[in-house]
Structure 1
Amino acid sequence: MATFYNQIPSASALFSLYTTFSAIKMLFRTILNEVVPLYIRNYITVKFAILFSTYFQTSFTFIIEQRWDSMENQTFRAAEIYLPTRLAGLSTGKLLVGSNDLKNPAAEPKLALPVNTKIIDEFEGIHLEWILDSIETQNFPYEKQYFHLTCKKQFREKIMTDYFKHLTKSAEKIMRNREKLLIYTYNREQSVWKAAIFEHHTTFETLAIEPQLKTTMIDDLDSFSKGKDFFKSVGRAWKRGYLLYGPPGTGKSSMVAAIANYMQYNIYDLQMQSVRDDADLRNILTSTKNRSILLIEDIDCGADSTSRRKTKKEENDQLQKQKQKQDIGVSLSGLLNFVDGLWSSCGEERIIIFTTNHKEKLDQALLRPGRMDVHILMGYCTPFVLKNLVTMYLKIDDHVLFDPIEKLVLEVSVTPAEVTQQLMASKNADIALKGLLEYLENKRFKKKEDTKVEEDGETEDAVTKEAET
């Protein structure tokens, strides 16, 4: 027994051996760095890594980043939608929960993807492991996220050919049946879209418009949603442009909400005043997601979209003045390229909706088909719209005041918003309709007074001209 212990090296001998080995290692590394060029060392390192991966590593990992070629990575988006349905396969004891239901704070919280947590999925007997990872970027506190998808090396081709198709189709199905929509607004300072829950409950069933217009809109939207192969066959971007025009209060915003709820599309609400220049406008377009509505309200007030096209000298003069103000803005050519140029094809299944109170002010180049495919007049209240509003707000189908109110609606210009305001004054049908009748009578009286003033003014001008002659 004593002989065995005598054969064990002492601690000092072991330390001396370790020191000698470390010195030799450092010497060898120094010689290697001095003699062997860097590119050769890197080449050897890569070859060793490949050799190790080929013969010793049994798994393969796909990395799926948020952006791909300066656009949103649709594979990342599909995983982001699909994986919350697989949260039962969490391999760790943590879960991300939250709620944004302002109307029901006590509602059961929703589940979301935790960062750095393994999620297990299975596809045709293949075991798959997903991990959502993130790194901080210069745009603090925003993070760059990406997925790791790991499988056995022998299933790599199967995952590429079949699983990713399954992922995309599953995500598309989930999107078409999503419970809540989002509305985004563009933050100019941070150059990002910020989202909020879209809870506008207007649908085509509750929208007070003429039956023919409702049928036309639904048929056109259905045709667009099924038109992927058609748009591809004719070489056009899969998008649709709508122009909603008419006086304020005629239901343009409600029409947008009805379209969004019918198509189950999120809305990107863009204020043209928040866009710096044409380049910024292109970045904004490419950062929106597919299956969405891009809404640009009051287009005649934002970009250089009105009147005639300017000469080159006028454009240069205006550009110089805008540069001095450091607020270049969007040019008409930039807007046209945004709507129907090469950049408009960066994405698919998108609806672009413009609204304006003054269609006549818009440049004709902006109005042609391909840019604004469908022009929809949101006009003043009609007898049919009136009855719909009364039925909706007062829950009645007939009343003794219907006839005089309908006659006044045909005589004066009143918007659905004005009618709605009067109907909401009281839940009592008699009081509400009497108030509406008085409101319309006052509008008729004012209209007659305005007409009389105009006629008197024209008469005075005529007399003045005769006297001067």
Structure 2
Amino acid sequence: MASLFNQVPSISTVFALYTSLSATTLILRKILNDIVPKPLRDYITKKFAELFSSHFQSNFTFVIDKTWDFCENQTFRAAEVYLKSRVAGLSTRELPVGSSDLKNPDAEINFGVPVNTKIFDEFEGIHLEWIMHNVESNNHKYVKQYFRLTCKKEFREKIMKDYFPHFAKSAAKIMRQRENLYIYTYNQMRSAWEPAIFKHHTTFETLAMEPKLKTTIIEDLDAFAKGKDFFKGVGRAWKRGYLLYGPPGTGKSSMVAAIANHMNYNIYDLQIQSVRDDGELRKILTATKNKSILLIEDIDCGTDVSHRRQTTKEEDVKLQKDKKKDDFGISLSGLLNFVDGLWSSCGEERIIIFTTNHKEMIDPALIRPGRMDVHILMDYCTPYVLKKLVAMYLKIDDHVLFDPIEKLVLEVSVTPAEVAQQIMATKNADIAVNGLLEFLGNKKMEKGDGKVEKEGELEYADTKEA
């Protein structure tokens, strides 16, 4: 026993050895820092960390970024929708809650996904852990969002094969049952689309327009919604373009609302004149989601990009040379490339709607077949449209003054908005109808001569076939 104790080094010896090793380590570190470049040192450190993680850690983590290949990551969107249904009983200090029904204080509370909070889920006996992270950029211009999904390393393949499709299908089911639609506007300062609850109550049932035209539009929309296999089979992006044109007040915005409510699609309202250049346009448009409407109102206003070109090719070249380097604005080719070029394939099941009061001012390249597939003339009132408006607002189907009113409608140009304004002045049907007759009579006198207006038209930009 005594000999064993004699072999144990003294404290002073151990301390001397430790000091020697520390000094040697510091010298080696100094030499490495001076000789080995920092990128190489970082690479070696990373590889050692990966080696350690793969051999000694039992967990595996999937990282799901909000964006993927310049588009919104649909897996991120599915995870966000799915997890909102899993947080009701979450044990945490903070939980985002809210209601979109401002008129009903007793409306059911909706939950959001809390940031930097563990959300646990279970799938076929496998325990899973979700965390959503927000990382703000140094200049505070944007926030990077991503999910981390952690499981035991041995379940990695099963999670990829079975769990990802499971929560994606669950999210799709929730989306189909969503109660609210949203209208988005783009915030340039934050480089993000900002939503607001869309509560427009116009539907095709309440939309005042010719029955044949309405039926044709509904059938076209339904065929588009069911056309995934068709578009894939012919090698085209799953999108549909609608051009709504006609005088102001003829119901173009109401038509957009009716389409959104019929398809259950969110609306992205883009003010194209505020877009700085083609690069920003691509960034804005690729951030929109599937099953949505991209709306560009008054496409002929606010920018020269959509205007019908009157110059020759030589003049176009000269104009480009004379253009200042610091000029901003999108180009026609930039807009066309997204509407019908390679960038149009970034996403699917999307409807693009242009509205204009002056179709003749738009460059033909922008509204040719494959871009704006269907052209819908939103025109002045016809006798049927007038009766529909009176029936909705005044709750009457007939009146002794209908005959003279119908004759005047065929002789003057009056918009549905003008008719609605007149009959909304009072709830008394007789007074409202008399006021409408007087209004139309005054318009005829101002006009001086009669003119029969066309009824609403729908034109297919390709072959005039559905």
TM-score band by shorter chain is: 0.7 to 0.9
Return closer, same or farther for 1:297/1:34 CA change in 2, 3 Å cut-off. Answer: closer
Given that 1:89 and 1:120 are in contact with CA atoms closer than 8 Å, whether structure 2 keeps it comes out as no
Match of 1:224 in 2: 224
Cα separation, 1, equivalents of 2:115 and 2:39? 36
Deviation of the 1:272 alpha carbon: 2.0
Matched, 1:86 2:124: no
Given that 1:292 and 1:349 are in contact with CA atoms closer than 8 Å, whether structure 2 keeps it comes out as yes
TM-score normalized by the length of structure 2: 0.86
Return closer, same or farther for 1:390/1:12 CA change in 2, 3 Å cut-off. Answer: farther
Cα separation, 2, equivalents of 1:381 and 1:305? 28
Return closer, same or farther for 1:93/1:15 CA change in 2, 3 Å cut-off. Answer: farther
User: The residue matched to 2:85 in structure 1 has which SS?
Assistant: helix
Alpha-carbon RMSD across the aligned residues, in angstroms, is 2.9
Match of 1:329 in 2: 329
Match of 1:318 in 2: 319
Match of 1:175 in 2: 175
Given that 2:99 and 2:110 are in contact with CA atoms closer than 8 Å, whether structure 1 keeps it comes out as yes
User: The residue matched to 2:116 in structure 1 has which SS?
Assistant: coil
Deviation of the 1:264 alpha carbon: 1.4
Return closer, same or farther for 1:134/1:22 CA change in 2, 3 Å cut-off. Answer: farther
Deviation of the 1:24 alpha carbon: 5.5
Compare 137-146 and 37-46 and name the one that shifted more.
37-46
Matched, 1:72 2:72: yes
Would you tell me which structure has more helix in proportion to its own residues?
1
Match of 1:241 in 2: 241
Unmatched tracts of structure 1, length 5 or more: 1-10, 452-469
Match of 1:304 in 2: 305
Counterpart of 2:110 in structure 1: which amino acid?
A: K
Counterpart of 1:82 in structure 2: which amino acid?
A: Y
**Cα deviation digits, residues 170-191 of structure 1 (max 9, x gap):** 2222222212111122234554
Return closer, same or farther for 1:29/1:386 CA change in 2, 3 Å cut-off. Answer: same
Compare 303-312 and 216-225 and name the one that shifted more.
303-312
User: The residue matched to 2:150 in structure 1 has which SS?
Assistant: strand
Deviation of the 1:118 alpha carbon: 0.9
Given that 1:260 and 1:266 are in contact with CA atoms closer than 8 Å, whether structure 2 keeps it comes out as yes
Cα separation, 1, equivalents of 2:343 and 2:14? 69
Deviation of the 1:30 alpha carbon: 3.7
Cα separation, 2, equivalents of 1:39 and 1:369? 53
Return closer, same or farther for 1:156/1:23 CA change in 2, 3 Å cut-off. Answer: same
Return closer, same or farther for 1:99/1:17 CA change in 2, 3 Å cut-off. Answer: farther
Identity %: 71
Return closer, same or farther for 1:348/1:108 CA change in 2, 3 Å cut-off. Answer: same
Deviation of the 1:130 alpha carbon: 0.5
Counterpart of 2:202 in structure 1: which amino acid?
A: T
Compare 273-282 and 184-193 and name the one that shifted more.
184-193
TM-score normalized by the length of structure 1: 0.86
Matched, 1:122 2:143: no
Return closer, same or farther for 1:382/1:265 CA change in 2, 3 Å cut-off. Answer: same
Match of 1:266 in 2: 266
Cα separation, 1, equivalents of 2:36 and 2:435? 94
Unmatched tracts of structure 2, length 5 or more: 1-10, 452-466
Return closer, same or farther for 1:39/1:195 CA change in 2, 3 Å cut-off. Answer: closer
Cα separation, 2, equivalents of 1:332 and 1:42? 46
Given that 1:115 and 1:132 are in contact with CA atoms closer than 8 Å, whether structure 2 keeps it comes out as yes
Cα separation, 1, equivalents of 2:408 and 2:226? 43
Return closer, same or farther for 1:358/1:35 CA change in 2, 3 Å cut-off. Answer: closer
Given that 2:64 and 2:146 are in contact with CA atoms closer than 8 Å, whether structure 1 keeps it comes out as yes
Given that 2:122 and 2:128 are in contact with CA atoms closer than 8 Å, whether structure 1 keeps it comes out as yes
